[in-house]
Amino acid sequence: MIGTHSYLALRKTVGWIGILLPFVLIAGTFLLSGEDIVRKNISLYYHSEMRDVFVGALCAIALFLFFYKGYDRWDDMAGNLSGFFALGIAFFPTVREGPYNLSAWIHFISASCFFLVLSVFSLFLFTRKVSSPSKRKVKRNIIYRICGYVMIICLVSILLYMIFLEGRDRQSEFVFWAETVALMAFGISWLTKGGTLYPDIG
């Protein structure tokens, strides 16, 4: 069995992957091909020299989520679901441009559900009430809730952008940066759960 310290380390690792992935993709594409523009969304880096990094990062996150053991079956179910959706993002790429095909729709649905489940982690599972919570636990709960709401706001803003604005400005980086903020919120939430922010002392 994986010990407590190993679980904390894995949570921190997953958090850092989420936070750093968008910037690694930008930097790697620039270094390998000289591309100095940000793509319209993170998923388009599948069609770049950084494909293996993109897929590998998602597979690493999925692997941890599959093996994640929480406090009860709800934690386990949420972990398995989010891991399943992470693999959907990795193995069903979106299209470079033009109308969505079946793979792109699976990718889009998987990405949306992935962040929805992660927001459930932050808003409901990580914030479970305990008897006599410490002051640090109260502060952690605030961080979890902020991260959860940020992920939901990012998802809604992306959806609204795609419905009302995407056709007017096909070169906008809005979706990329909204996804980046959502990934950072995910990463901060899991770093906090891993004991990076406001850990209990003793």
Domain boundaries along the sequence of the chain: 4-193
Quote the CA–CA distance of 137 and 2 in Å, as a whole number.
23
Is 46 a residue whose pLDDT tops 90? yes
Quote the CA–CA distance of 75 and 138 in Å, as a whole number.
20
- What are the tens digits of pLDDT across the range 115-173? 999 999 999 999 988 888 899 999 999 999 999 999 999 999 999 999 888 777 767 89
Average pLDDT over residues 8-24: 93
- What are the tens digits of pLDDT across the range 71-97? 778 888 999 999 999 999 999 999 998
- The closest of 41, 62, 46 to 157, measured between CA atoms, is 41
Confidence at residue 170, expressed as pLDDT on a 0 to 100 scale: 67
- The closest of 147, 140, 126, 129 to 201, measured between CA atoms, is 140
Is 99 a residue whose pLDDT tops 70? yes
